[in-house]
């Protein structure tokens, strides 16, 4: 990484708003989180209505009290494939400002208070449209904070991969 890239990355990290609380959840034993301020509700799994020609990570739409929301499968987006036990999953309904969407997770873990000193920048290895905006580090635990906007962007031909 060049000095220019490192400085640019540090400046971008310092300009990101630091959430004071995050909702944490699990996808295949990986810990993720989103700012509690964008989470509108957490629902038990219910089948979605598939959309023709949708990206693989788009499971379909869900009727949420008369509003249709697109539901995204984070497991597929990060290259983990299908979940065998759909009924055990949950949907986090998040507010993107102009619309809401659902993110499917294996389980919701907790709501954590986040101290700014626990935050770490995301390595600049995924390009400008990082799925992970930063990390929360507590002891040996690392929670990937998601850039919810990146989940809903139009799918590229390749999915992002995380190493186990």
Least confident of 7-11, 124-128, 146-150: 7-11
**Separation CA 145–CA 31 (nearest Å):** 9
Mean pLDDT of 88-114: 91
More confidently predicted of 14 and 68: 68
Q: pLDDT band at 4, cuts 50/70/90?
A: very low
Q: What is the DSSP letter of 147?
A: -
Whether the per-residue pLDDT at 11 is higher than 60: the answer is no
Q: What confidence category does residue 155 fall into, taking pLDDT thresholds of 50, 70 and 90?
A: very low
Question: According to CATH, what is the number of the domain 3-152?
Answer: 2.40.50.180
Q: What is the pLDDT of residue 69?
A: 94
Domains in the chain: boundaries: 3-152
Q: What is the 3-state secondary structure (H, E, C) of the chain?
A: CCHHHHHHHHHHHHHCCCCCEEEEEEECCEEEEEEHHHEEEEEECCCCECCCCCCCCEEEEEEECCEEEEEEEHHHHCCCCCCCCHHHCEEEEEECCCCEEEEEECEEEEEEECCHHHEEECCCCCCCCCCEEEEEEECCEEEEEECHHHHHCCCCCCCCCCCC
């Amino acid at each position: 990484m060049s000095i220019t890239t490192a400085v640019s990355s540090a400046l971008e990290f310092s300009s990101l708003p630091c959430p004071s609380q995050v909702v944490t959840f699990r996808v295949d034993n990986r810990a993720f989180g989103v700012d509690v301020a964008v989470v509108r509700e957490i629902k038990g799994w219910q089948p979605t209505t598939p959309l023709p020609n949708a990206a693989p990570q788009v499971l379909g739409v869900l009727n949420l009290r008369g509003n249709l929301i697109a539901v995204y499968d984070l497991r597929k987006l990060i290259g983990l494939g299908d979940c065998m036990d759909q009924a055990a999953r949950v949907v986090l309904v998040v507010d993107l400002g102009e619309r809401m969407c659902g993110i499917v997770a294996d389980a919701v873990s907790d709501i954590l208070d986040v101290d700014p000193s626990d935050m770490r920048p995301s390595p600049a290895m995924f390009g400008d449209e990082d799925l992970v905006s930063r990390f929360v580090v507590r002891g040996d635990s690392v929670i990937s904070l998601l850039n919810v906007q990146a989940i809903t962007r139009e799918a590229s031909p390749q999915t992002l991969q995380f190493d186990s």
